[in-house]
Amino acid sequence: MRSRRPVFLNFARIRFPVGALASIGHRISGVVLVIALPLAALLLDRSLQAGAEPLVMPGWIRVPAALFAWAAAHHLFAGIRHLATDVGIGASLPAARRSAYAALVGAAAVGLAALIA
């Protein structure tokens, strides 16, 4: 028997309350950070080479760097939020919505700062 509840994965029809935004942002930022892992290994390798010199980066590097900064900040803030919720801190709906806003806004601020600073 088919369920009568609405089952769909239409992103235009799914409502995203702030907690869901913080949650999907946690996933997306996690993917960004996974993609950055090999680059981090590359940078670690370079920094440990004898006679390593400061890297000269092209100007456009600011854009992916800002994306990385946002991803790292969002994953950190939302991750701390999840860990706190695991142990019952801030698990009530109003508190969870406040912390979700804080994580979203804080991470966006970090990303913007990396872009323009």
Partner 1 sequence: MRLFSGQRAFVLQRLSALVVLAYLAAAALRVAFGAPVTLAQWQAWAAQPLGAALLLLAAAALIAHAWVGVRDIVLDYVHLFALRLGVLAAAVAGFALLAAWTGFIVLSHAL
Binding residues (CB under 8 A) for partner 1: these are 27, 30-31, 33-34, 37-38, 41, 44-45, 47-48, 50, 52, 76, 79-80, 83, 86
Closest approach, Cβ 46 to partner 1, in A, equals 10
User: Alpha-carbon distance 33 to 99, whole Å?
Assistant: 22
Residue (7 or 44) nearer to partner 1, CB: 44
Q: CB of 11: closest distance to partner 1 in angstroms? A: 13
Distance of CA 98 to the CA centre of its chain: 17
Closest distance of CB 60 from partner 1, Å:
25
The residue type at 1: M
DSSP state string for 52-86: -------GGGHHHHHHHHHHHHHHHHHHHHHHHHH
User: Which CB, 60 or 109, lies closer to partner 1?
Assistant: 109
Min CB(79)–partner 1 separation in Å? 6
* Closest to 82 measured CA to CA, from 17, 21, 22: 22
